[in-house]
Amino acid sequence: MTKQEVAERFQIPIAILEEYESWGLCDSVRQVMDVWEYDDRDIERLSLIMTLHDIGFSKEETFEYMRLYLSERDTQAERLSMLNRRRSDSLDEIHFKQMQLDRLDYLRYEL
Amino acid sequence: MTKQEVAERFQIPIAILEEYESWGLCDSVRQVMDVWEYDDRDIERLSLIMTLHDIGFSKEETFEYMRLYLSERDTQAERLSMLNRRRSDSLDEIHFKQMQLDRLDYLRYEL
């Protein structure tokens, strides 16, 4: 499939596809006559990349995670550590927002 | 009290004090010999301004809220409506972050 076909069929933003290509991590994305050809494995990886973005990973963190994911050596512990760090940051953000809500409710109560 | 004294004694960022002065909302902040003089009522209002920032109000929303707060007419319903809107946005943000966390946990589970 071409980039355009992938973008339309799987609702993947062109920006994500270009990010993916720019990494040059995957030998499975092949350039044929100036057009990238995506196969099923690419789609699977792109789905993971979208999930990483969705859970709040930056571009750089997503790249790092995918580099580990596609590595030939065992990187499970490193990836788990990245996810755990993100999880801890997410929890902090949620607690901060909940504290904001408490202050807001106090202001409403005072009115 | 001068701006410097207020900033040090009440740990109010200079940026907030300058924002407050720039609004020109309060006749109680008096300019004496090129120096603003803050009284107790100003400190009370500045405390409210800091709370509004803390609950996630933008500069413009804080200004609008303070304009209503200092108005001579009854603005309680309008202020409550602003707080309710912010509350609803905060809840949406928390739910979004909780969904992120669920996706993240699923990724950890899959590892």
**Which pairs count as long-range contacts for A71-77, CB under 8 Å and 24+ apart, including other chains?**
A76/B111
Amino acid letter, residue A80: L
Quickly count: other Cβ atoms within 10 Å of residue A27's Cβ: 7
For A14, A103, B7, B50, the CA distances from B47, given in Å and listed in that order, are: 46, 13, 12, 5
Q: Residue A89: what pLDDT?
A: 95
Element (H, E) at A73: none
Amino acid letter, residue A54: D
User: Minimal CA–CA distance to B11: which of B54, B60, B56?
Assistant: B54
Do A3 and A14 contact (CB within 8 A), yes or no? yes
Q: Residue A51: what pLDDT?
A: 94
- Domains and their CATH numbers in chain A: 3-110 (1.10.1660.10)
Q: Residue B28: what pLDDT?
A: 54
Residues of A in contact with B101 (CB under 8 A): 55, 87, 90-91, 94
Q: Residue B23: what pLDDT?
A: 84
Residues of A in contact with B104 (CB under 8 A): 55-56, 83, 86-87, 90
Q: Exposed/middle/buried for A62, CB within 10 Å: 0-12, 13-18, 19+?
A: buried
Contact between B55 and A104 using a beta-carbon 8 Å cutoff: yes
User: Minimal CA–CA distance to A69: which of A25, A23, A21?
Assistant: A25
Q: How far is A54 from chain B (nearest CA, A)?
A: 7
Contact between A108 and B56 using a beta-carbon 8 Å cutoff: no
Do A37 and A30 contact (CB within 8 A), yes or no? yes
For A13, B28, B64, B94, the CA distances from B25, given in Å and listed in that order, are: 46, 9, 11, 34
Q: Residue B97: what pLDDT?
A: 95
Residues of B in contact with A87 (CB under 8 A): 101, 104-105, 108
Residues of A in contact with B79 (CB under 8 A): 111
Which stretches in chain B have pLDDT values below 50?
A: none
The complex's ipTM works out to 0.80
Contact between B111 and A84 using a beta-carbon 8 Å cutoff: no
- Site from A107, A109, A111 to mutate, B interface, most B CB atoms within 10 angstroms: A107
Do B36 and B19 contact (CB within 8 A), yes or no? no
What are the φ and ψ backbone dihedral angles of A35, each rounded to 5 degrees? -120, 130
- Site from B68, B76, B97 to mutate, A interface, most A CB atoms within 10 angstroms: B97
Beta bridge partner(s), residue A37: A30
Task: Give the Cα separation of A49 and A55 in Å (integer).
Answer: 10
Residues of B in contact with A108 (CB under 8 A): 80, 83-84, 87
Per-residue pLDDT tens digits for A27-76:
655 665 566 788 888 899 999 999 999 999 999 999 999 999 999 999 99
Do B66 and B45 contact (CB within 8 A), yes or no? yes
